Chains A and B, each alone.
Chain A
Amino acid sequence: MYIKETPYEPGRHLRSADSGLRVVPRARLGTKGDVLVAVDDVDVTTENIERVLSCIPGPTQVRLTLETAAQADGGGSAGDASSARRTKSPPPVSQLVRLLWGEDTAELQMSIGHIPHVVMYLSLKLDSASPQEEEEILYQYPVSEASSQLKGVRGIFLTLCDMLENVTGGKICSSSLVLGKHLVHVGYWKDSNNLLVIGLPAERVPLLYLQTVVGDVVRTLKVMYGSLDSAFCKADHAPRLDHFFCLFFQQLIQPARLRDGSSAPAPDISGTLFLDGLPAVRWLTLPPEIKMEVDTVLSDFESSDFGEMSEDFFGLRRLYVILGSCLFYKSYLIANHLPKEDLLDVCLYCQHYCLLPLASEQRVGQLVIWREVFPQQRASGGGDTAPGYSQPQGRHFLLIVGLRHFMQCVLLEAGGCASPALGSPGPDCVYVDQVKATLLQLEALEAGIKERLNAPPAPCLSCADWFLPAAAARDRLDGRASSSPVFSKLAGAVKGSSSGPRGRSLFGEKSRRSSPQRSLSDSGSEGQMDAGSGSGSSSMAPGFSPHSTPDSARKLGPRRDSLGSDGSGGGGGLFKIPRMKHPNPFYLGTLKKTLTERETEEMYNTMKLTSGAENTLFHYVLMEAVQGIFIAPTHREVAQLSGSIHPQLIRNFHHCCLSIRAAFQQSLPARGRRAADGPRGGGWGLGPVKEHGVLFQCKPENWTDQRKPAPTMTYWVIGRMLLEPVPQEFYVCFHDSVAEVPVEMAFRLSFGLAL
């Protein structure tokens, strides 16, 4: 792995893997005048450099620490460009970057030393003739007190693995143990004669998601090393595996620690588990013309037509065939030319090494990663090969180049049509340069992509706090509007920005009236649903749709009610006929420029996913299983909806999605799962689940008013699995005032979601 950091950094690190120093193109080793100060953290001077280098046993992984000349000589050279830039205070290096470099792993690991967790690779076939102490442990991480207790009972894991298969006819997949006060779930993965055992604290990974976590880590290892055996059974892999599992445990046990020194909000563990566990990559839909240009630029690169840099030019056989590539911008996938399974392989690797958050948080000066990979679909001989066609028996290499907020992952094949790869080749500088050129070319499109990211959320989102009367009470807004918390919140927000460019009557021609029924406590009374949708649907209700971005002073015109429910007792609008053809909500970012104001206004009104007068949508996740992508509100959209309840709601949503997805997973045939050859839970007694919803109730924190009961807000989290027309999973969270039909919402959301 080669990582180059931003030019602002005083200490520079280059991490080389697989093939040692010789493959590092000289030009990339740092600028002239940089001083090598350490090799593998051993300080070097001109005196000892020979000795230190001689200790490196052949091609191996070493870390070089470089210092720029300016730093080394005390900032003497005034004209030095990098020192001039450094006069602006450099951004702190996030913990994440440090961990990626392999720094601080010991310290980070120590901080979770008291929490029991372990990974062990154990041999099931022991040569009993020459028993040796701990001979069966092929690999173990970490070495801490809590893990040594788990190591001490490895006999249990081996015995159970051996015995239970005979008893119940299925491989072992999990055990639950109590260590002191900690409940620990242990996941198993049997691989021929060896057994991978991963122990994790139950409060981080619930049992129902353990299999997904274990399945993903196994697949990542297989992508990186070909098989578990080749990953664990080579002694010189140990330091790299230590780093691998350090990242693994840190992400699960203390994800917040990785974000030290970064502005991003601390991720919630359920959210990480859920989103990372989806067999899909987070997708950002771009306006079509930008998308087309991005695709064209990628295709140009993938055609391998490198002009006078290409092998053809010199009459040579090609080194690599480019199988495809995918492009990330600030952690969102914006283009993909890889088959789905390859995309998932690449994404698992990027996820594991936290490459995606890296690019979203700070501009990456330059990142080059090169390694051999073993794409799982290709390794298994490919699922749907046509008769007469067989997969070429080539080797595969993954080239990842990051430049500022862009990151491109390219899958290359050597052998097959291209010349076979010998040994462990390093990154070919022509290919690296071509990717960099591609990224530089793409930077021209960055403005458009940024604009898309900064566009108001489509569909509109509401903040949970607006629905709690407490918020309205605290805000002490004018009495007329106070019956609706959403209304008041909006009114309050609007006051400040009424001089904006679009400062005309925000609520249309209708007078300000309170919103459809919103009692102090709207929880669970009987017939609530009916009443809610009923009043919302009376013709031309004085409605409005609250938006997440009140400061943008968006049009909140009266809602067209043909979209509303028919008021026939909880009818969430099963038979609604849309008044106009739905625009693709994702393309509005630029479309709106070409529309008249009136049309725009109408568009905004139909961008609501929920029915009823108010916009009641809090959050959503839509996964397209075929393409391996999912969409969800962007980080920025979520960050804008700050409040005290809303972040809790998002956490709760993700936690609930874990359970909903587990229910879906149980009912799927085994091959539908990401870890295709993995163990799975048993028959699902309840039968295949199509839809599953949970109603939640929340109260404001610190409710001190003794006289009145705390107001409550109720909302649904619903998951729906669709198999037709394309397999999709849809998870949505909305306020409990209007009955919704999730299938319809999923349709509205996914309409036009095309690659």
Chain B
Amino acid sequence: MMLQDGSTQLLCLTASSGVPLFTRGAAKQLPFSVIGSLNGVHMFGGGQGVVLSCCETEGGGKVVWRVFRDSVMLIAVGGGGHGGAGGGGKEEEVRLQRLLENVWNCMVLVLGQEELANIRNVERLKRDLRSCFNLIDQLLEERPEGILGNLTHCADSLLPPNPALLKEAVDGFAQAADSEFGCLVVHGRVAAATEKWWRLAPQEVVLLSALTRSLSASGSASCDYPVFLPHGSPTVAHRLLRFQLLPGADVCVLCGPTPSLHRAESGLVGRFWSPLVETLRDCLAVGERCLPASVSLRPDVLALLLINRETRRSVSCVRTPTRHLPTDPPLPSKARCWELLKLLYIFSTTHYFSQEETLCVSPEERAQRVNTEDFVLGFSHQPIQCYLVTEECKSYGLQTAQHQLFLLIPPSVPTFALRTVATQTLSDIVAATGF
């Protein structure tokens, strides 16, 4: 067995000639012969009018293929295995499909579509692609914990205690920087953004948040980074200016040739943000809960993921239960809760709720989605809620016209009460925050 349980390897090759561009993930790289065969079977099928999209083995191993722009072939190989990263079956397939989509968008974000769609110099491309590795590795390792946007394609958000004040500051700051696109990222999640920022494709918002996180992690106070927008501007680069306001709080704007990083940093940051330091601190204090103190969650909610289907935003959190008796069976750990939340999301969206993304879905992606949704399409009536009872915990999924809510609930809560917990949690959050 060449691939360890639970590990994922990503292969990138040129679609036309099968030249390997890079491989990421998994400690041990697959032998070249295997990489060649994996690419070869897909190419062979293509010549016969058969497009190979996915393959599963016993024990949950998965291989997923996808060609982008007839130019780049991405292959993800999941090792499967019990308790592994993704579980088995459809869930793993969806996870890998999303991975390939995100990796491609990531490559476009950094290098632009032109360079990827018309490969002239393979060696140079290989070198250039190295600048994407940081982001790609984050995607592969599903870092940081608690960020679900890569999966949901909804921007991970943090709901600050006083959103109006922050929104105003972001608007003013962006305007002063000659930009309509500005965003405040707190703990890696979007806390406030301009109208136009939300009009970017959901994948772009997610990707830009990831980029901001990764730039912020580098430790610099500010940076000026050229980015291509995979959907909005795949061939013309914009500048992403990022400034650290406080540790854990960054503001960024997408702008044209002006202003210079220096002018923005010295002239604008202080002017707009120093009066708001206390507000920012309050915002940071929200922490991983993502919800302001005004929202009182029921004590029997272990973890939640709430998606606004219209704005394509999400909030999520995992809580440490307060009233857990030592005699009760142990509850899943925090990391396991995040894992379960992701699996519940994929399970519900592949079996019951369609994950329609009205914005910016290319025909090719739509076709891909039909493949993963073949089961959902078989229902004659609309599934609106679902629940699962497992040994570890109970989970509940709920879909309304505007929201999707996913909850993990301790096993001690009676099953018939789950629905009440879910509907009440939804209305509590919406009432308190207008999310």
A153-B48, A696-B379, A697-B381 are known contacts. Are A684 and B88 too (CB-CB below 8 A)? Answer: yes
Q: In the assembled complex, which residues on chain A have CB atoms less than 8 Å from the CB atom of B392?
A: 687
Proximity string of chain B (415-428) to chain A, C-beta cutoff 8 Å, 1 when within and 0 when not: 11101100110010
Q: Judge if A152 is at the interface, Cβ distance under 8 Å.
A: yes
Q: In the assembled complex, which residues on chain A have CB atoms less than 8 Å from the CB atom of B1?
A: 166-169
Q: In the assembled complex, which residues on chain A have CB atoms less than 8 Å from the CB atom of B400?
A: 524
- A159-B37, A208-B89, A740-B416 given; 19 more Cβ-contact pairs under 8 Å: A153-B48, A160-B55, A163-B37, A168-B59, A169-B3, A175-B54, A176-B52, A183-B371, A203-B378, A569-B420, A571-B416, A655-B380, A681-B58, A682-B56, A682-B59, A684-B87, A686-B87, A695-B385, A696-B384
Residue of B30, B339, B384, B415 near A685 (CB, 8 A) is: B339
How many whole Å from A534's CB to the nearest CB in chain B? Answer: 12
| Residues of A in contact with B (beta carbons under 8 Å apart) | 149-150, 152-153, 155-156, 159-160, 163-180, 183, 202-203, 206-208, 270, 523-527, 529-530, 569-572, 574, 648-649, 651-652, 655-656, 658-659, 662-663, 666-667, 679-698, 714, 739-741
Contacts of B317-353 to chain A: CB distance below 8 A? 339-340, 343-344, 347, 351-352
In the bound complex, CA of A685 to CA of B53 (Å): 22
A683-B80, A684-B87, A685-B343 are known contacts. Are A167 and B381 too (CB-CB below 8 A)? Answer: no
Q: In the assembled complex, which residues on chain A have CB atoms less than 8 Å from the CB atom of B385?
A: 524, 694-695
In the bound complex, CA of A177 to CA of B42 (Å): 10
Q: In the assembled complex, which residues on chain B have CB atoms less than 8 Å from the CB atom of A168?
A: 1, 3, 57, 59, 61-62, 77-80
Q: In the assembled complex, which residues on chain A have CB atoms less than 8 Å from the CB atom of B61?
A: 164, 167-170, 682
Which of B81, B84, B381 has the largest count of A CB atoms less than 10 A from its CB? B381
Q: In the assembled complex, which residues on chain B have CB atoms less than 8 Å from the CB atom of A666?
A: 88-89
In the bound complex, CA of A570 to CA of B417 (Å): 7
Q: In the assembled complex, which residues on chain B have CB atoms less than 8 Å from the CB atom of A679?
A: 58
In the bound complex, CA of A569 to CA of B416 (Å): 9
Q: Are A683 and B60 in contact (CB under 8 A)?
A: yes
How many whole Å from A333's CB to the nearest CB in chain B? Answer: 29
Q: Are A682 and B92 in contact (CB under 8 A)?
A: yes
Residue of B83, B91, B389 near A691 (CB, 8 A) is: B389
Q: Are B54 and A176 in contact (CB under 8 A)?
A: yes
A176-B371, A526-B424, A697-B382 are known contacts. Are A692 and B44 too (CB-CB below 8 A)? Answer: no
**B390 nearest in chain A by CB position:** A687
In the bound complex, CA of A495 to CA of B424 (Å): 44
In the bound complex, CA of A690 to CA of B371 (Å): 28
In the bound complex, CA of A551 to CA of B417 (Å): 38
In the bound complex, CA of A530 to CA of B77 (Å): 47
| Residues of B in contact with A (beta carbons under 8 Å apart) | 1-3, 5, 30, 34, 37-38, 40-41, 44-45, 48-63, 77-84, 86-92, 339-340, 343-344, 347, 351-352, 367, 370-371, 374-375, 377-392, 395, 400, 414-417, 419-420, 423-424, 427
In the bound complex, CA of A569 to CA of B420 (Å): 9
A571-B416, A659-B375 are known contacts. Are A171 and B87 too (CB-CB below 8 A)? Answer: no
**A667 nearest in chain B by CB position:** B390
Q: In the assembled complex, which residues on chain B have CB atoms less than 8 Å from the CB atom of A159?
A: 37, 40-41
Q: In the assembled complex, which residues on chain A have CB atoms less than 8 Å from the CB atom of B347?
A: 686
Q: In the assembled complex, which residues on chain B have CB atoms less than 8 Å from the CB atom of A523?
A: 384
Q: Are A206 and B378 in contact (CB under 8 A)?
A: yes
Q: Are A173 and B57 in contact (CB under 8 A)?
A: yes
A156-B41, A179-B50, A206-B375 are known contacts. Are A529 and B416 too (CB-CB below 8 A)? Answer: yes
In the bound complex, CA of A655 to CA of B381 (Å): 10
Residue of B86, B374, B388, B395 near A206 (CB, 8 A) is: B374
How many whole Å from A658's CB to the nearest CB in chain B? Answer: 8
How many whole Å from B256's CB to the nearest CB in chain A? Answer: 41
In the bound complex, CA of A697 to CA of B383 (Å): 6
**B46 nearest in chain A by CB position:** A153
Residue of B79, B379, B391, B419 near A656 (CB, 8 A) is: B379
Q: In the assembled complex, which residues on chain B have CB atoms less than 8 Å from the CB atom of A530?
A: 420
In the bound complex, CA of A163 to CA of B1 (Å): 10
Residue of B87, B374, B380, B383 near A695 (CB, 8 A) is: B383
Q: In the assembled complex, which residues on chain B have CB atoms less than 8 Å from the CB atom of A163?
A: 34, 37-38
Q: List 21 A-B contacts (CB under 8 A).
A: A168-B3, A168-B79, A173-B58, A526-B420, A526-B423, A527-B423, A529-B420, A569-B417, A570-B419, A648-B380, A682-B80, A685-B88, A685-B92, A685-B343, A686-B343, A686-B388, A689-B388, A689-B390, A691-B415, A696-B383, A740-B416
**A714 nearest in chain B by CB position:** B384
In the bound complex, CA of A323 to CA of B53 (Å): 48
A684-B87, A685-B339 are known contacts. Are A164 and B2 too (CB-CB below 8 A)? Answer: no
A167-B1, A170-B58, A177-B51 are known contacts. Are A682 and B88 too (CB-CB below 8 A)? Answer: yes
Residue of A156, A529, A680, A688 near B390 (CB, 8 A) is: A688
Residue of B53, B55, B381, B391 near A687 (CB, 8 A) is: B391
How many whole Å from B413's CB to the nearest CB in chain A? Answer: 11
Q: In the assembled complex, which residues on chain A have CB atoms less than 8 Å from the CB atom of B377?
A: 203
User: Shortest 5 CB-CB distances between A and B: which pairs?
Assistant: A682-B60, A685-B87, A168-B61, A682-B88, A683-B82
How many whole Å from B386's CB to the nearest CB in chain A? Answer: 4
Q: Are B382 and A696 in contact (CB under 8 A)?
A: yes
Q: Are B86 and A150 in contact (CB under 8 A)?
A: no
How many whole Å from A39's CB to the nearest CB in chain B? Answer: 42
Q: Are A149 and B60 in contact (CB under 8 A)?
A: no
In the bound complex, CA of A694 to CA of B353 (Å): 11
Q: Are B423 and A686 in contact (CB under 8 A)?
A: no
How many whole Å from B337's CB to the nearest CB in chain A? Answer: 12
Q: In the assembled complex, which residues on chain B have CB atoms less than 8 Å from the CB atom of A682?
A: 56-61, 80-82, 84, 87-89, 92
Q: Are A167 and B389 in contact (CB under 8 A)?
A: no
Q: In the assembled complex, which residues on chain A have CB atoms less than 8 Å from the CB atom of B384?
A: 523-524, 695-697, 714
**A157 nearest in chain B by CB position:** B41
**B343 nearest in chain A by CB position:** A685
A687-B391, A689-B390, A696-B383 are known contacts. Are A680 and B58 too (CB-CB below 8 A)? Answer: yes
A178-B51, A652-B379, A683-B81 are known contacts. Are A171 and B58 too (CB-CB below 8 A)? Answer: yes
Q: In the assembled complex, which residues on chain A have CB atoms less than 8 Å from the CB atom of B391?
A: 687-688, 690
Q: Are A686 and B390 in contact (CB under 8 A)?
A: yes
Q: In the assembled complex, which residues on chain A have CB atoms less than 8 Å from the CB atom of B380?
A: 648-649, 651-652, 655, 698
Q: In the assembled complex, which residues on chain B have CB atoms less than 8 Å from the CB atom of A171?
A: 57-58
Q: Are B388 and A691 in contact (CB under 8 A)?
A: yes
A168-B80, A686-B343 are known contacts. Are A178 and B57 too (CB-CB below 8 A)? Answer: no
How many whole Å from A152's CB to the nearest CB in chain B? Answer: 5
In the bound complex, CA of A656 to CA of B427 (Å): 28
How many whole Å from A211's CB to the nearest CB in chain B? Answer: 9
Residue of A153, A655, A693 near B50 (CB, 8 A) is: A153
How many whole Å from A214's CB to the nearest CB in chain B? Answer: 12
How many whole Å from A172's CB to the nearest CB in chain B? Answer: 5
Q: Are A178 and B50 in contact (CB under 8 A)?
A: yes
Q: Are A681 and B388 in contact (CB under 8 A)?
A: no
Q: Are A695 and B386 in contact (CB under 8 A)?
A: yes
Q: Are A170 and B80 in contact (CB under 8 A)?
A: yes
Q: In the assembled complex, which residues on chain B have CB atoms less than 8 Å from the CB atom of A652?
A: 379-381
How many whole Å from B81's CB to the nearest CB in chain A? Answer: 6
How many whole Å from A694's CB to the nearest CB in chain B? Answer: 4
**A270 nearest in chain B by CB position:** B378
Q: In the assembled complex, which residues on chain A have CB atoms less than 8 Å from the CB atom of B92?
A: 682, 685
In the bound complex, CA of A593 to CA of B417 (Å): 42
A156-B45, A656-B379, A691-B389 are known contacts. Are A164 and B55 too (CB-CB below 8 A)? Answer: yes
Q: Are B59 and A165 in contact (CB under 8 A)?
A: no
Q: Are B383 and A694 in contact (CB under 8 A)?
A: yes
Q: Are B44 and A155 in contact (CB under 8 A)?
A: yes
In the bound complex, CA of A655 to CA of B377 (Å): 10
Q: Are A655 and B386 in contact (CB under 8 A)?
A: no
How many whole Å from B312's CB to the nearest CB in chain A? Answer: 22
